[in-house]
Amino acid sequence: MRLFTAVEPPPEAVVQLSSTVHTGRELFPELRWTSPEDWHLTLVFLGDVPDELVPDLTEGLGRAVAGHHPLSLEVDGWGTFPERSRRSSVLWAGFTGDTEPLTDLAVDLREAARGVGLHVTDMPYVPHLTVARSRPARDLRRTLHELTVPQGPTWRVGEVHLVESVPGRGPRYRTVRTWPLPWKTHPDRTSERSTS
Ligand code: ATP
Ligand code: MG
């Protein structure tokens, strides 16, 4: 099955971003705008995973998630793939905040996927949420400038999902597994508890 790992936006972030994206939808109907209910921030695209690899993969990804902690992100501006090009095919919202711990998490998840024999990209990780696609690729720089820059809210990221990308009609994505990001333990507080 076609799999990826991702983080989901909190509902208030979806509401906020929807209102910003609304302008873009009206001005540029020729783009394929993604549906707010499908919005996600991909950590690692895993591609087609043979069924027999899924149990080991899931275990490895879970172990990787367990080594990280909750983090905070905010949507901050727009970008395209390829960037600054006359022929871009993806328009996305970018992030600020704990992007370094997020990148560390993505890198560990990539490593876990490689550990079970999957080929994953070694391109630099760019945290982004795809809001529109263009086929054929076109100059999206004007689109980018017409959109206002979204302001907040903070995404408090407490879990990571393994998601199946479902071909054909119906829901595009199906959550296969969810792992919580464990809170950091404070050794001093632990000892307080144990002595009381
Ligand atoms: P579709 O390809 O049918 O238009 P989609 O791109 O949402 O839909 P997938 O191609 O299965 O579905 O991708 C799932 C997620 O992984 C999406 O967020 C997508 O942007 C991302 N993704 C897909 N291919 C790659 C890749 N080669 N590198 C990085 N991320 C990718
Ligand atoms: Mg795709």
Does the pTM exceed 0.95?
no
What is the model's pLDDT at position 192? 54
Q: Whose CA is nearest to atom 3 of ligand 1?
A: 167
Q: Which one-letter amino acid corresponds to residue 174?
A: R
pLDDT tens, position by position, 160-177: 999 999 998 888 999 999
Q: Whose CA is nearest to atom 11 of ligand 1?
A: 165
User: Who's near 155: CB < 8 A, 6+ residues apart?
Assistant: 7, 9, 10, 13, 72, 73, 74, 75, 97
What is the model's pLDDT at position 186? 78
What is the model's pLDDT at position 54? 98
CA distances from 79 to 76, 93, 101, 139, 185 (A): 10, 6, 21, 12, 36
User: Who's near 133: CB < 8 A, 6+ residues apart?
Assistant: 31, 32, 34, 89, 90, 91
Average pLDDT over residues 38-50: 98
Which band of pLDDT confidence, cut at 50, 70 and 90, is reported for residue 149?
confident
pLDDT tens, position by position, 106-145: 999 999 999 999 999 999 999 999 999 999 999 999 899 8
Residue 97 has pLDDT above 60, yes or no: yes
Q: Is the CB of 2 under 6 A from ligand 1?
A: yes
Residue 155 has pLDDT above 70, yes or no: yes
What is the model's pLDDT at position 4? 98
Q: Whose CA is nearest to atom 10 of ligand 1?
A: 165
Which band of pLDDT confidence, cut at 50, 70 and 90, is reported for residue 62?
very high
